[in-house]
Structure 1
Amino acid sequence: MSRGFIPPILFSQCLDHVPPTGLCVPPARSGHRCVADSTNLYVFGGYNPDFEEGGGSENEDYPLFRELWKFHFATATWQQIRTEGYMPTELASMSAVLHGNNLLVFGGTGIPFGENNGNEVHVCNVQYKRWNLLNCKGKKPNKIYGQAMVIINGYLYVFGGTTGYLYSTDLHRLDLSTREWTHLKPNNTPSDLPEERYRHELAHDGQRIYILGGGTSWTSYPMDKIHAYNLETNYWEEMVTKPHEKIGYPAARRCHSCVQVKDEVFICGGYNGELILSDLWKINLQTFQWTKLLATMPEPAYFHCAAVTPAGCMYVHGGVVNMFGNRRSGSLYKVWLVVPSLLELTWEKLLKTFPHLAQLSSLQLLGLGLTHTLIQRLK
């Protein structure tokens, strides 16, 4: 072991609970989505049928949450963002990605589920706190929820989803510069297409889009083989993965969460049709080797959400944690998926030692020797 190397395992023993410092926190929820940048975790939408937890008579969208929240990492505070423009009304099982300062939200469903679905792209600029509807050309995907999406080289790819009655294996692409939808027709025979599904997750390596898990209301798909769409050949391929030498493959699952750090993709939690899961696995997109991490979620959850910061720290929020009691969580957890850089370790130590740093002016912070980039994280 080289001098100065810190094994990643030291940072993977557990998901740490992140206690908020303020009284303002988002209510427990499921079916929401989250994204992260270096400064904030953004949480959009969600569902909670519990009358009190769901806001009751004070929430005109009950049992849904027509809300955008942010969790500020530096101060560990939640804030509901007051936005202008037209926020989507399909607030459960939509898909969301962060593209620069723009939160892109597509699809989703309202109440009753499957009866009020969406197929519009809503964009919220998180800096200016304004929603806009993306005016798109071409043939849009059907009105669906539970689909997954990813941005590659200026194109937004959307796969799968359900109308509430039919499950999809459709693949659509939106050119973000021309705003034109294209329904991609892969060259495979119908029998070679991935199984139709919803509440799966996507990863990519620039050349292929990989589907991880998902299922229908009666099944969940296994992880020993992964379907991959090759952008260059327009073919679906089936990639055979390598099991963990002692444990085998991750359990089949749907309604899990997934984040990607370079060539490594991490999945956690989910539901396999019988059990709510709490495990955390990673797969390497070059070797297709599965590895089970020592870290586990403090409580099993599905219909939760997860996002990873550019520095490699994953945050997990909410979800259904008890099937029979239909109980949802509002807890936030974090775990480093990589060995943190010296900068990140020092930054965390600095914030713990000087919790009121964010109250200083930019000039004072500059005087203390902080860089403009770090000052941005405080504001």
Structure 2
Amino acid sequence: MASAQLSWEEVATSKDDKPSLPRSGHVAAALPATHSHDVIIFGGYVEDEQKGREAANDAWTFSLASGKWEEVKYTSEEVPRVRLASQAVVVGQHLWLIAGWDPGHNKDGGDILSDLWRLDLNTMAWKQISPEGEQMPQISRFQAQAIGSRIYIHTHRSLQDILVLDVSDSNAPTLSLQPVTSDPEPPMSRGLHSLTAVGEDLVLFAGAPKEGPMLGDLWALHTGSASWQELDAEGRTPHVRCSQAVAAADSDVFVFGGSYYKNEGGLQPLNDLIVLDTKEMQWRYSKLADGSGPLPRNAATLTRVGDKLVLYGGWNPFVETYNDTHVMDVSGVSSMLKDFPLDPEEDW
């Protein structure tokens, strides 16, 4: 069976068109269509040849039209502290930045954060917000996705319930614990997983538990009924992994890279591109048209902008941090999915 032909195009290749430093563990979100740019990134671990890796709190925006990144000039005196392993979600004209980890500067373990910030995307002014209702817990390596004005926050504690941040009133958001049911058991506790909004469902994939091997399971949280369902997709289950980059284009979920532990080899990064067709509930494996593409990595971001996917940054663990940007056109992929092989050609 012939595989569908997809290809990555590297853009922003000159030094002046890139963020100032390579980074991983940052957050990214698509900007509103009214904005002059398409993607915004914030924070993460930046790597400097002299200083090594340090956490950051800068933001950059990317334009597909120009193929360039520009640094955001904040207009507020108060800004979020440095962090990585946080989450950022755009609802309307605001970006909501949620918690994360400030690793500190003295190798003291740093701080797991519990703060909430709102960035006005028109003025680029930050404001720290204290939500009504529940108190935001200290969390990192979690996931957050918006369905309408409700931001669902899935953490390692999300077993019998899930945190829901309602930002319909951006000046007075409310945080609540939404009970969820499951039959028989909910997804096991984990971090560094992915959570992707597809319609009214949240698709959870893979991740790393506190103890034991990495995961490759697949679940859906049906937000209408507040219930978990384990999914059994046709085709070969992808390799277990964590810190993968994921984005949804309509009913298709695109998974790029991540890493897993290999015996005697430490963390092994991946650069495969897998598509979950949620209509047919099938895993599909693609092969790049030209056999090239981004190098293996984890802790990158994948953002959907119209018919394009924008991949930025990431880390080959303990080897290299990347500052590259790759774009893929996925228009027509839904009609091509029937040509994606259900199983990869090589074994693992």
Q: TM-score range by the shorter chain?
A: 0.7 to 0.9
Specify the alignment match of 1:131 in structure 2: 126
Q: 2:287 aligns with which of 290, 294, 307?
A: 294
1:222 and 2:216 matched: yes
- Can you give the 5+ residue segments of structure 2 that lack an aligned partner in the other structure? 263-267, 334-348
Q: 2:259 aligns with which of 271, 296, 321?
A: 271
Tell me the secondary structure at the aligned position of residue 273 of structure 2. Answer: strand
Q: 2:248 aligns with which of 260, 263, 285?
A: 260
Q: Distance in 1 between matches of 2:49 and 2:13?
A: 24
1:49 positional shift = 5.4
- Verify the 8 A CA contact 2:12 2:69 in the aligned structure 1: no
C-alpha distance after superposition, 1:114-160 (max 9, x if no partner): 64122222111222111112331111342111111111132110001
Amino acid at match of 1:256: Q
- Verify the 8 A CA contact 1:280 1:297 in the aligned structure 2: no
- Verify the 8 A CA contact 1:94 1:108 in the aligned structure 2: yes
- Verify the 8 A CA contact 2:188 2:209 in the aligned structure 1: no
Q: Distance in 1 between matches of 2:97 and 2:301?
A: 14
1:168 positional shift = 5.3
Q: 1:80 aligns with which of 60, 71, 87?
A: 71
CA RMSD of aligned residues (A): 2.5
Normalising by structure 1, we get a TM-score of: 0.75
- Can you give the 5+ residue segments of structure 1 that lack an aligned partner in the other structure? 1-6, 55-61, 162-166, 341-379
Q: Distance in 2 between matches of 1:141 and 1:229?
A: 21
Q: 1:312 aligns with which of 299, 307, 323?
A: 307
Specify the alignment match of 1:63 in structure 2: 54
Where in structure 1 do 4 or more consecutive aligned residues deviate above 6 Å?
A: none
- Alignment CA distance shift 1:114-1:254 (3 Å): farther
Q: 1:204 aligns with which of 193, 197, 210?
A: 197
Q: Distance in 2 between matches of 1:205 and 1:333?
A: 23
- Alignment CA distance shift 1:232-1:83 (3 Å): same
1:53 positional shift = 6.4
Normalising by structure 2, we get a TM-score of: 0.81
C-alpha distance after superposition, 1:34-86 (max 9, x if no partner): 122453221110113555365xxxxxxx7111100112222222211110233
Amino acid at match of 2:249: V
Specify the alignment match of 1:344 in structure 2: none
Q: 1:111 aligns with which of 82, 98, 103?
A: 103
Q: Distance in 1 between matches of 2:109 and 2:214?
A: 19
Amino acid at match of 1:129: M
Larger radius of gyration: 1
1:186 and 2:180 matched: yes
Q: Distance in 1 between matches of 2:226 and 2:295?
A: 40
Q: Distance in 1 between matches of 2:148 and 2:177?
A: 17
Q: Sequence identity, in percent?
A: 19
1:100 and 2:92 matched: yes
Q: Distance in 2 between matches of 1:118 and 1:252?
A: 28
Q: Distance in 2 between matches of 1:219 and 1:263?
A: 29
Count of aligned positions: 310
| Richer in strand (by share) | 2
Tell me the secondary structure at the aligned position of residue 138 of structure 2. Answer: coil
Q: Distance in 2 between matches of 1:234 and 1:96?
A: 23
